[in-house]
């Protein structure tokens, strides 16, 4: 085996580990010397938009998990749910009570995630403070997540995590942990609930939700989903209780490795493998 071939083989074996460095740990985020922990709002959260076009009902459900990939539903066809590796994803369904016994899926839109094994794209998170953004009068963090592609169009999520000391961030957001076969049930809008909600005051409902839809439209060369998320965990003054066990001290800091640290470690491993092979060939 030639040295170059061995080198590329070593790199290919290390790529799965390198992809981890292109994501982030929701419980250990540091921006300009401030630490943030969003572990308490981890798990799948959804926000739905229901449109009535009699007799049909159109439902778009945006799902997001800051702390990991969205779980699969074993009872739903693979083509009708978010692809593996998705952190942010949209599912559009249509239901006609005159003809359908259940909603049918029209579109599945992977917005952001780690898709290194399929499309070669990664989450590539970008984090900045809201107060550092021109024109923003909010405090908190802006999280940009990438990786999705739909209809040959690049996708991106921009989530503004806004400081609200009175909110956990879980208000009215269904969070299901450890139930993979239920995680995607929120995507199937029941017709009775949809019809009942037609006469409700949508503005009041939106005001009660911590996670809110802002827009989904093309911005420059990408389709961008914008969400607002009000939570106390985005406040720089927030401090967790000593007994929370969330790792806000030195232990948590030591577990968070940046991209360049991972790169150096993996590069060193590849060099050791190469040197070992060369020594054996001699």
pLDDT in tens, 33-74: 899 999 999 999 999 999 998 999 999 999 999 999 999 999
- Extended strands (E) in the chain: 29-31, 34-36, 45-53, 56-64, 86-95, 104-113, 126-129, 140-145, 149-150, 153-163, 211-219, 222-231
pTM beyond 0.75, yes or no: no
Average pLDDT over the chain, rounded to an integer = 77
Sort strands 153-163 and 222-231 into parallel, antiparallel or unpaired.
parallel
Question: Is the per-residue pLDDT at 78 higher than 80?
Answer: yes
Q: Any idea what DSSP says for residue 97?
A: T
State the pLDDT at residue 205: 53
The arithmetic mean of pLDDT across residues 90-110, rounded, is 93
Banded model confidence at residue 207, pLDDT cuts 50, 70, 90: confident
Question: Is the per-residue pLDDT at 107 higher than 70?
Answer: yes
State the pLDDT at residue 23: 61
Angle between helices 259-281 and 3-21 (to 10 degrees): 160
Structure-block tokens of residue 176: 């299901």
Question: Is the per-residue pLDDT at 91 higher than 90?
Answer: yes
Question: Is the per-residue pLDDT at 192 higher than 70?
Answer: no
Question: Is the per-residue pLDDT at 89 higher than 60?
Answer: yes
Q: Which long-range contacts (CB under 8 A, 24 or more apart) does 261-268 make?
A: 261/21, 262/17, 262/18, 262/20, 262/21, 263/18, 263/21, 266/14, 266/17, 266/18
pLDDT digits (tens, 9 = 90+) for 138-147: 899 999 999 9
Task: Specify the range with the lowest mean pLDDT, choosing from 100-109, 129-138, 139-148, 235-244.
Answer: 235-244
Task: Name the residue among 161, 215, 238 with its Cα closest to residue 49.
Answer: 215
Tell which wins on pLDDT, 209 or 279: 209
Task: Specify the range with the lowest mean pLDDT, choosing from 2-16, 130-144, 185-199, 232-246.
Answer: 185-199
Structure-block tokens of residue 279: 């020594």
State the pLDDT at residue 136: 77
């Amino acid at each position: 085996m030639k040295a170059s071939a061995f080198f590329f083989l070593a790199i290919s074996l290390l790529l799965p580990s390198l992809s981890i460095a292109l994501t982030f740990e929701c419980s250990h985020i540091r921006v300009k010397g401030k630490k943030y922990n969003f572990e308490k709002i981890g798990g799948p959260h959804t926000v739905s938009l229901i449109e009535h076009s009699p007799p049909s009902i159109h439902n778009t459900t945006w799902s997001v998990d800051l702390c990991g990939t969205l779980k699969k539903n074993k009872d739903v066809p693979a083509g009708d749910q978010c692809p593996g590796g998705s952190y942010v994803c949209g599912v559009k369904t249509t239901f006609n009570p005159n003809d359908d016994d259940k909603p049918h899926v029209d579109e599945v839109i992977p917005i952001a995630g780690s898709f290194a094994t399929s499309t070669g794209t990664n989450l590539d998170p970008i984090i900045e403070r809201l107060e550092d953004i021109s024109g923003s009068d909010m405090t908190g963090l802006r999280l940009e997540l990438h990786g999705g592609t739909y209809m040959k169009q690049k996708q991106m999520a921009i989530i503004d995590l806004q400081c609200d000391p009175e909110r956990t961030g879980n208000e009215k957001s269904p969070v299901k942990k450890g139930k993979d076969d239920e995680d995607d049930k929120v995507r199937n809008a029941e017709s009775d609930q949809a019809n009942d909600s037609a006469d409700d005051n949508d503005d009041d409902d939106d005001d009660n939700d911590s996670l809110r839809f802002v827009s989904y439209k093309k911005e420059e060369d990408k389709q961008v989903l914008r969400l607002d998320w009000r939570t106390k965990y985005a406040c720089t003054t927030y401090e967790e209780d000593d007994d929370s066990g969330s790792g806000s001290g030195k232990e948590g800091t030591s577990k968070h490795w940046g991209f360049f640290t991972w790169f150096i470690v993996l590069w060193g491993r590849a060099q050791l493998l190469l040197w070992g092979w060369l020594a054996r060939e001699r």
